[in-house]
Amino acid sequence: MLKNTYLFKLSGSHDLEYGDLIPIEESDTIPFVIRRVYYIYNVPSASSRGYHSHRNLNQVLICVHGSVRMVLKTPDKTEEVILNDPSQALYIGPMVWREMHDFSLGTVLLVLADHHYDKSDYIRNFDQYISEARKYFAGEADSK
Ligand code: TYD
């Protein structure tokens, strides 16, 4: 996977007769303190969302119903991930460009985040993103 991203499995209770349940617990399941939860739904299939990066935000995305195609980018790489399983979670850390495409009908995308909404944390211009992300990832390499 790209830097600052990974997929992980959420464990829970699965029962053919009674159905499935997945608990989400801070620190046990989610690698940060959850300060904000939001969900995206009613997205027309022709619409795409995202097209931004965050400078300093950790998020976990869970497609609790339906499916969405995530396009993730860092300055040197692009990766696609289909989220279509409520027991699968996608971690996205700082400085990863994300786009959301191809929402299927009825999709609900749950997002957990470690900071309150902060407009100034967004980078919405791709050229600006590339410029800041190059410095960010170069700094990371230097500090290793
Ligand atoms: P945005 O993050 O741009 O959505 P997406 O990346 O899915 O396209 O947010 C869309 C709008 O919702 C924008 O006007 C800001 C607002 N918003 C909040 O008020 N609080 C939040 O926690 C989030 C994520 C968005």
Q: Which amino acid is it at 81?
A: V
Give the residue from 86, 32, 42 showing the smallest Cα distance to 61.
Answer: 86
The residue with tokens 């390499």 is: 141
Task: Look at residue 26 in the predicted model and tell me its pLDDT.
Answer: 84
| Mean pLDDT along residues 110-119 | 98
Of all protein residues, the one whose alpha carbon is nearest to atom 17 of ligand 1 is: 117
| Mean pLDDT along residues 110-136 | 98
Task: Look at residue 48 in the predicted model and tell me its pLDDT.
Answer: 98
Active site residues: 52
Task: State the distance from the centre of ligand 1 to the C-alpha of 17, rounded, in angstroms.
Answer: 38
For residue 127, report the phi and psi dihedrals to the nearest 5 degrees. -65, -40
Reported as a single tens digit per residue, the pLDDT across 66-102 is: 999 999 999 999 999 999 999 999 999 999 999 999 9
Q: Which numbered atom of ligand 1 lies nearest the CA of 36? A: 22
For residue 136, report the phi and psi dihedrals to the nearest 5 degrees. -60, -50
Task: State the distance from the centre of ligand 1 to the C-alpha of 117, rounded, in angstroms.
Answer: 8
Reported as a single tens digit per residue, the pLDDT across 20-72 is: 999 999 877 899 999 999 999 999 999 999 999 999 999 999 999 999 999 99
pLDDT category of residue 121 using cuts at 50, 70 and 90: very high
Residue pair 54/126 in contact (Cβ under 8 Å)? The answer is no
Of all protein residues, the one whose alpha carbon is nearest to atom 18 of ligand 1 is: 117
Number of residues written out for the chain? 144
Of all protein residues, the one whose alpha carbon is nearest to atom 14 of ligand 1 is: 119
Please tell me the distance from the alpha carbon of residue 112 to that of residue 119, in angstroms, as a whole number. Answer: 17
Task: Look at residue 41 in the predicted model and tell me its pLDDT.
Answer: 98
Task: State the distance from the centre of ligand 1 to the C-alpha of 3, rounded, in angstroms.
Answer: 24
Give the residue from 50, 46, 26, 28 showing the smallest Cα distance to 37.
Answer: 26
Q: Rounded mean pLDDT of the chain? A: 96
Ligand 1 pocket at CB < 6 A: 36, 38, 40, 49-50, 52, 117
Composition of the chain by helix, strand, coil, percent to 5 = 15, 45, 40
